[in-house]
Amino acid sequence: MTENVVTLNNSDNLSTAEKLFKKHHIRHIPVVSGNELKGMLSYTDLLRISFADEIEEESDIETIVYNMFTIEQVMAKNLVTVTSTATIKEVAEILSKNEFHALPVVNDGKLIGIVTDRDVKDASPSKTTSLDVHELYYLLSEMKVKEVMTPSPVSVISRTA
C-alpha cells in the first residue's frame, strides 16, 4: 500500500494524467475539484482513446487525441464510494458485483483515500490458510477499509503554459 493517493483536478489535461499513471505505476486516479470528488479516471479509460500503452515517448497523434477530450469527458462520474469503516467483505462485494477495480474512500464528504482490488486481495488470507469458511467470513466482515486503503490524497497541480 502506498503512502499517498495521487489525484487530478478536473481542469487538468489527459497528457498530465498519462504521465501520472506511468510515473507512479498506478491504475486509478480520483478526480477532484477543490475538496469535492468529481470522478475517477482509470488507465483503461486512457487506453480506450489513445495509444498510451503502445508508445513510450510522446507522439503527435497521441497529443492530438488527448486534446480532443477533457478529463471530465473520459472519467467515470457516478461513483460508488465507501467510508473508512466499511468492511473488506463489503468492498469485495461492491467490486465484484459492479466489476470495479477501485473505490474512493470518503468520510464526511472528503476524499481520504482509495481502496483497490489489490488491497482487498492483499488483505485476504492465503488460499492455503487453515481457517474454515466461517472464520474467513468473520475476518473479512471485521476488517475495515481504513486498515488496507491507500490514505492521504495528494493533489497534483499541472503547470501548463
Q: Consecutive sets of 10 residues in the chain, 161 residues long: mean pLDDT of each?
A: 73 91 91 90 87 54 74 92 91 89 90 88 70 69 77 58 43
User: What does the pLDDT read at residue 131?
Assistant: 65
Side-chain half-sphere of 11: how many Cα atoms within 13 Å? 6
Q: Which one, of 30, 15, 27, lies nearest residue 155 by Cα? A: 30
Q: Please state, in angstroms and as integers, the Cα–Cα distance from residue 82 to each residue in 2, 22, 52, 106, following that order.
A: 19, 26, 30, 6
Instruction: Give CA–CA dist 105/150, Å, rounded.
Output: 9
Q: How many domains is the chain built from?
A: 1
Domain membership of residue 161 (yes or no) is no
- Which pLDDT score is estimated for 134? 67
pLDDT at residue 161 in the model: 43
Say if 151 falls within a structural domain: yes
Domain containing 59: what range? 5-155
Distance CA 136, CA 123 (A): 11
Q: What is the spatial distance between Cα 1 and Cα 119, in angstroms, rounded to a whole number? A: 7
CATH number at residue 54: 3.10.580.10
Q: Is residue 160 part of a domain?
A: no
